[in-house]
Amino acid sequence: MVIYQYVGTLDYPRDEAGNILAMIHPHRQFQDYAPLAPGDPLFLTFEQETIPYQGSSTVYPVFINEAAYYEKGIAMCLTEKHVYQLD
């Protein structure tokens, strides 16, 4: 059985005024539950510069780029994958 445990959220990169500076990287869009490792593309600035994931371990993002979460400061939720053997 596979379980994805919530570990936190990530916001979009923002300036001092709270304006969003980047969008979800095209390689990450529509990739819920796909592994995200340190250094993988995460955001793409409006100047076309890639911002990589800076975490220390692989996570599995969900709810990526959900419009309902913009005002809450959430670009995606992060989960850890756990696999259990059921007998």
| SS3 category, 8 | strand
The one-letter amino acid at 71: E
**What is the rounded CA–CA span in Å between residue 43 and residue 40?**
10
Mean pLDDT across 19-37: 96
Confidence of residue 32 (pLDDT cuts 50, 70, 90): very high
How is residue 11 annotated by DSSP?
Answer: P
Confidence of residue 82 (pLDDT cuts 50, 70, 90): very high
Of 12, 9, 2, nearest to 63 by C-alpha is 9
Residue range of the domain that includes 36: 2-83
| pLDDT tens digits along 35-58 | 999 999 999 999 999 999 999 999
Q: Give me the number of domains the chain comprises.
A: 1
The encoded tokens of residue 68 equal: 């309902």
The CATH number covering residue 79 comes to 2.20.25.160
Q: Are 82 and 3 in contact (CB under 8 A)?
A: yes
